[in-house]
């Protein structure tokens, strides 16, 4: 399962590789990140995570909250990607202030500038995707495109139904937008890649197990508890977005 005997940089790479391969964030050499995901970690690989300027401020905040020196501590990495009780170690108001300082120079930080005492900000990837990225603001005007980005960029979980040489079929709940709310919809099967040239991001998928997905990749095998933690973290971010959608603030 995620975090068991896996070095922090390798665990980070498992989830960071999919958008890096697409050229969305991080350094240019995705093959190095793939090597890092297999557990072959060097000092240079440790510094590579800092180039993910969307994720690093959350890792730094979590490390301070947990009381560890290393933002790549595997407990910190797991909390950022999958959630769990460690998220409660970061004060919501302090996190918002920290993120406004870190991301304040960007042209559009989604709903970040609108947050107030009603909102529970979490140092979790779903918060960044749903609240800080600008896509939620575009749902009503542009529909399918922002919804597709939100769906693919979120970390989601599902159950492996079939495993092929390079791809697996996973039953998972996609995001849907009904015009007023962003919700998890009915389960559907989606094909996801689990290896490139025979090199997997995480453990080989096994039919019937739960796995974590990012973009069109299967990143790791996870437990029922971790899947539940992921849902709770995402629901917290969805609550913030839907509050604004229902009030017609986005």
| Beta bridge pairs of residue 182 | 177
* Rounded Cα distance, 145 and 232, in Å: 25
> Residue 105: its pLDDT value, please?
72
Top-level class of domain 156-225:
mainly beta
Q: Print burial letters for 187-221: b (CB count within 10 Å at least 16), e (below 16).
A: eeebebbbbeeeebbbbebeeeebbbbbbebbbbb
pLDDT in tens, the chain (250 residues): 654 567 888 899 999 999 988 888 877 777 777 777 777 667 776 777 888 889 999 999 999 999 999 999 999 999 999 999 999 999 999 999 999 999 887 767 789 988 988 899 999 999 999 999 999 999 988 879 999 999 999 999 999 999 999 999 999 999 999 988 999 999 999 999 999 888 888 899 999 999 999 999 999 999 999 999 999 999 999 999 999 888 877 7
* Rounded Cα distance, 89 and 94, in Å: 11
């Amino acid at each position: 399962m995620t975090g068991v005997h896996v070095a922090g940089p390798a665990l980070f790479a498992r989830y960071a590789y999919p958008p890096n391969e697409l050229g969305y964030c991080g350094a240019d050499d995705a093959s190095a990140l793939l090597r890092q995901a297999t557990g072959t970690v060097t000092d240079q690989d440790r510094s590579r995570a800092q180039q993910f300027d969307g994720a690093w401020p959350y890792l730094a905040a979590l490390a301070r909250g947990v009381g560890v020196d290393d933002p790549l501590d595997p407990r910190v990495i797991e909390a950022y990607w999958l959630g769990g009780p460690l998220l409660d170690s970061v004060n919501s108001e302090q996190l918002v202030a920290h993120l406004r300082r870190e991301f304040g120079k960007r042209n559009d930080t989604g709903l970040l500038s609108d947050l107030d005492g009603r909102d529970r900000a979490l140092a979790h990837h779903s918060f960044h995707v749903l609240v800080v990225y600008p896509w939620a603001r575009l749902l009503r005007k542009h529909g399918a495109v922002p919804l597709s980005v939100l769906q693919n960029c979120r970390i989601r979980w599902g159950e492996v139904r079939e495993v092929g040489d390079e791809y697996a079929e996973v039953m998972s709940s996609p995001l849907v937008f009904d015009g007023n709310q962003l919700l998890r919809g009915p389960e559907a099967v989606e094909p996801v890649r689990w290896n490139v040239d025979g090199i997997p991001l995480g453990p080989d998928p096994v039919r019937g197990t739960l796995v974590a997905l990012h973009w069109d990749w299967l990143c790791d095998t996870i437990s029922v508890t971790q899947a539940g933690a992921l849902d709770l973290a995402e629901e917290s971010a969805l609550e913030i977005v839907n509050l604004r959608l229902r009030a017609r603030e986005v």
